[in-house]
Amino acid sequence: MKKRLGFVGIIVENRKEQAGAVNVLLSEFGDIIVGRMGVPYHERNCSVIALIVDADTDKVGALTGKLGKIPGISVKSALSKVA
C-alpha cells in the first residue's frame, strides 16, 4: 500500500486518567507521526491533540482503532486522496 498524508484529531476527555495510555500508543506509532500539537483545556479537564501522519490506510486505521478503544477518547482522521 502507498503512504498518504493526513491528520488525526484526538479529544482526551479526562486527561489525568487517560493521558498515559494515549502517549504509550502515540509512541508505539511514532514512525508514522510527522508532527504533533497538544493543547490542554484545563477548564474542561480535557486535551485536544492534532497529529500529522504519513502512512498507509492500514497503519492509520490501526492507530485510530486502538485510540478509540480507550475510554473517554474521541478520534477522527482524514487522509489525502492522492497516494
CATH at 24: 3.30.70.1150
3-state secondary structure of 75: strand
| Mean pLDDT value across residues 15-19 | 87
- 36 backbone dihedrals φ, ψ, rounded to 5°: -145, 135
Tally of domains in the chain: 1
User: If you count DSSP H runs as helices and E runs as strands, how many of each does the chain have, helices first?
Assistant: 2, 4
User: pTM for the full model?
Assistant: 0.92
Range of 62's domain?
Answer: 4-79
The string of DSSP codes covering 49-64 is EEEEEEE-HHHHHHHH
User: What's the pLDDT tens digit per position in 42-65?
Assistant: 999 899 999 999 999 999 999 999
Q: Is the dihedral of CA 72, 36, 30, 83 positive or negative?
A: positive
Residue 81 is predicted with a pLDDT of 87
* Mean pLDDT of the residues in the chain: 94
